[in-house]
Amino acid sequence: MPLATLVSPAIGVGTWAWGNQFLWGYAPEQDQELEACFQRAVERGLHFFDTADSYGTGRWNGRSECLLGQFVAALAPRRRQELCVATKLAPFPWRLGRRGFEKALQSSRVRLQDNLDRVQLHWSTARYAPWQEGPLLQGLADQVLDGAVAELGVSNIGPKRLRRIQGDLAARGVPLRSLQVQLSLLAPEPIRPGGLVDVCRELGVEMIAYSPLALGLLTRMPGTEPSLPSGPRRWLFRRLWSDLQPLLEAMAEIAARRNASPAAVALNWCRAHGAMPIAGLRTVAQADVAGDALAWGLEEGERERLDQLALALPSGARMPANPFQST
């Protein structure tokens, strides 16, 4: 008798690359393809879109929000109602106090053409300015209570601080809707006992997995070193590739049984742990891969095998940790 397939959440779309020249080589000539990618993602059932006010390089700062707002505004009203559009506000040093995000939130609203359902704190200031974070979050809670935005989430928060934040917000009657954290087969720390996966489940906070494809490493087939991407990702591929072969081989076996891609396996591993992966999509073909992944899920034995391989990787074969992640 086959093992039961694990119940899985949705798949969302991350838009970090929309406007990012440094890591992803963005150019305005890509905008037509990005719009086609967005439209296909919506058609394929990908209804959560995540952006940030700091996304974009140099003169393209804010471009991700602008493009997403433009694409959403062009949808039929019925389609728009299916979506959840979320942005993250960066706690820059000059954004201080309970009203420190007010101008930033208004600017994001303008770029998104008022298409905004959830606002999120982009990262924790616990490691360098712990006094800054609380008032900013309380200010965002004010925005929810005032009806300016429907939902509130956080990003890059560890288990201890997550409990405190969730309790403080609950005391004001504001639900903490989501936590966004780096989670992938190359960043598996949240799945350890007592880690963020367990805490989110206990608190009823939705977990969102960013970088679920590890900047593209988990989309490749095992074997000889692949063609290397340009820019900073080239260094990461060179450093990690040789240690990843057992994991990539296991992923390829699972993918072959499903007539799927390694990328779909990586996304469904996150889903098997109760997290919604937000895949960075730039092309129609990538949107189709993510849409296809919604049609199936990992069996428990497959998930356990991948867990073991991921947790056994040496520390040098994992994705760099986010330096702003709190405890």
At residue 152, φ and ψ (nearest 5 deg) are -125, 135
In angstroms, the CA 16 to CA 149 distance is: 22
In angstroms, the CA 229 to CA 24 distance is: 9
Spatial CB neighbours of 132, under 8 Å, sequence gap ≥ 6: 91, 93, 95, 96, 100, 125
In angstroms, the CA 324 to CA 125 distance is: 7
| Catalytic one of 26, 55, 128, 210 | 55
Sequence-distant contacts of 254-259: CB under 8 A, at least 24 apart: 254/298, 254/302, 254/306, 258/296
Ramachandran assignment for 75, one of left (phi > 0), alpha (psi -120 to 50 degrees), beta (any other) = beta
In angstroms, the CA 249 to CA 200 distance is: 31
Identify the helix (H) or strand (E) that includes residue 219: none
Closest CA to 104 of 118, 119, 117, 115: 119
- DSSP 8-state class, residue 220: S
β-pairing, 84-89 vs 151-155, is unpaired
| Residue 55 a catalytic site member | yes
Cα torsion angle, 90, 93, 99, 103, sign:
negative
CA–CA–CA angle 187, 168, 178 (5° rounding): 35
For 294-315, b/e burial (b = at least 16 CB within 10 A) is: bebbbbeebbebbbebbeebee
10 Å CB burial of residue 175 (0-12, 13-18, 19+) is middle
Contact 11, 277 (CB under 8 A): yes
Catalytic residues: 55
